[in-house]
Amino acid sequence: MNPTAAVAALIGVSPLDIHGATADSATFTSECDDCTATGLVRLEAEHTHRAGNWTETTAHCLPHAADAIWALDMADAASITAIVPTTLIQPTALAA
């Protein structure tokens, strides 16, 4: 299983909707944008429009991450990268 598939399975979304990545867990100190839980999923959404391009970064807990990905997808995000702490993914999932 590649990192995108492993992250998508953890969040409960299609691997076609995101690019998955992992990072050191020390980088995840934000609070979820939707509740007071720890933001274990950092989403980086690239938007490309005629008026200009920008990247939107948000933090979400696991239960709210799938809804946030859906909302970004509906808002025509060009690409969505979901980054989770490496410790949440089984080493065997990343190696496969």
- Provide the 3-class DSSP secondary structure of residue 59: strand
Q: Do 43 and 11 form a contact (C-beta atoms < 8 A)? A: no
Q: Which pLDDT score is estimated for 5?
A: 93
Say what the pLDDT of residue 96 is: 56
Please tell me the predicted confidence (pLDDT) of residue 94: 59
Looking up tokens 């005629």 gives: 50
pLDDT, average across residues 85-92: 82
61's tokens: 């807990």
Amino acid, res. 85:
P
- In this predicted structure, the answer to whether residue 57 has a pLDDT above a threshold of 60 is yes
Q: What mean pLDDT do residues 74-80 have? A: 86
What's the pLDDT score for residue 21? Answer: 93
pLDDT at 13: 94
Distances from the Cα of 67 to the Cαs of 64, 71, 92, in angstroms? 5, 6, 27
Cβ atoms of 6 and 12 closer than 8 Å: no
50 contact partners, CB below 8 Å, separation of at least 6:
none
pLDDT computed for residue 59 by the predictor: 95
**pLDDT > 70? residue 93:** no
